[in-house]
Structure 1
């Protein structure tokens, strides 16, 4: 059987339901050695809760549901970067308190910590995530310890096979489209987002509205189905959710794609 070239395979994938391309100029989180940095950690909300109900990234009640499962964090300005890091995943661990397990746990940035100062990284964890750093049965002791010194490391996100979803903003209409983009595996955060109407060959750049919400003020009536192109922040990988927003789409509805980053 004749061999098939890699460029041909990539082109074939793009022709089908999705497009996934790797830019070798960028590094992938899974290919670099893990580096631990120092940070401060506090917690907020209820002891076994998810912090706030949604937070400044726009994920809403999803933060308490799988796959987030309350393992989330607010973050100080140095890592939040005006919401550009919403969806990024980190491992955090504590070792200097007697109740620390020293084992890393993975958390997702879903909120901003307005009381966290500029400078060294500050994780304002949910009560659930903060307690997860403790030895078995000692989570209550850890929560009363005050500000902890922790280690943190950027890691790839893993949502156990979930595909990327788009929750359409309530203010969307035929001339204006905005959506929260959810469950990006790998990098977790996005550098840019573009939208294409079914009747057009042109991709139109969307703007980050706030948090994980991206918008397009079209200026005229959009013609669905709509495809959305995602470019990851860290690795530069490109993904296309083809015709993910259907005819008859509605505000406040969630539309799940068939794709995710590998």
Structure 2
């Protein structure tokens, strides 16, 4: 190989690796990869799912927001400091006498809506400590995998899958007259959101927002009284512009539905 070509190739490879490492949204199990990985699963809460509401992703009433009981909290290794919020996973029970047969429902697809926190004071007891991959399911999802929920914990295999959602992407407004914040939810396709930008109908320019925590994004701008458009980019790099999805009369706490959605993989 020509030394100059070899040098350029090495430099390009180094830059690509640095960009991949620097990206907070990079994931080891992208949608559509198809490979199964090993993990474990438990559950929290009861059959009603009341304990699964709210959580570390910033979602609220999961029934009203379209997620229902098909949800999971992720261990630290999978949660990725909140960048995995909204991602969808298929789980199958494996290697346990408590597993239901596949035909009997021993496979579930869930959306990541919460974190299962690490407890470093108990390094040998907490399944959510890194580097372990663990799913803390709602109880109904766990019961779909096993014949007796008293087993408590089971080995599973899992893979990332595209999210299937009803209706368009939704936006819940937060913030006040001094700054704007939004919860982006009900996102299909890749599920997790990588970037958000907002534009007021009077300002007319796009402002990149910053992920505050979970899927709550904020920006230092006074946008009260302006109709808002959002540009949302998901974890697979696709972006949609939601023009005028929020009217000028918006107030904090209101939610707005778009008529656009990410589909496919």
Q: Smaller-chain TM-score range?
A: 0.7 to 0.9
Q: Structure 1-normalised TM-score? A: 0.79
* CA deviation vs aligned residue, 1:91-127 (integer Å, no higher than 9, x gap): 0110222231244210000000014100121111110
Which runs of structure 2 are paired with 1:84-233 in the superposition (5 Å)? 84-101=83-100, 102=102, 103-115=106-118, 116-134=128-146, 138=147, 141=148, 143-160=149-166, 162-169=167-174, 172-218=175-221, 220-222=222-224, 224-233=226-235
> In 1, Cα distance between the equivalents of 2:66 and 2:180?
26
Q: Secondary structure at the match of 1:82?
A: helix
Q: What RMSD over aligned residues (CA atoms) do the two structures have, in Å?
A: 1.9
> In 2, Cα distance between the equivalents of 1:248 and 1:165?
17
Deviation at 1:33, TM superposition (A): 5.0
Deviation at 1:64, TM superposition (A): 3.7
Deviation at 1:200, TM superposition (A): 3.6
> In 2, Cα distance between the equivalents of 1:211 and 1:47?
25
In the alignment, is the contact (CA less than 8 A) between 1:56 and 1:211 conserved in 2? yes
Q: Secondary structure at the match of 2:52?
A: coil
> In 1, Cα distance between the equivalents of 2:78 and 2:30?
19
> In 1, Cα distance between the equivalents of 2:140 and 2:73?
13
Aligned match of 1:7: none
Residues 150, 193 of structure 1: alpha-carbon distance in 2 compared, 3 angstrom cutoff: same
Deviates more, 1:48-57 or 1:124-133: 48-57
> In 2, Cα distance between the equivalents of 1:153 and 1:84?
17
> In 2, Cα distance between the equivalents of 1:50 and 1:121?
24
Deviation at 1:221, TM superposition (A): 4.8
Residues 223, 66 of structure 1: alpha-carbon distance in 2 compared, 3 angstrom cutoff: closer
Unaligned residue ranges in structure 1 (runs of 5+) = 1-26
Deviation at 1:28, TM superposition (A): 8.1
* CA deviation vs aligned residue, 1:20-51 (integer Å, no higher than 9, x gap): xxxxxxx983xx45211000111111145254
> In 2, Cα distance between the equivalents of 1:207 and 1:87?
17
Q: Structure 2-normalised TM-score? A: 0.78
Matched positions, count: 222
In the alignment, is the contact (CA less than 8 A) between 2:70 and 2:138 conserved in 1? yes
Deviates more, 1:109-118 or 1:50-59: 50-59
In the alignment, is the contact (CA less than 8 A) between 2:88 and 2:160 conserved in 1? yes
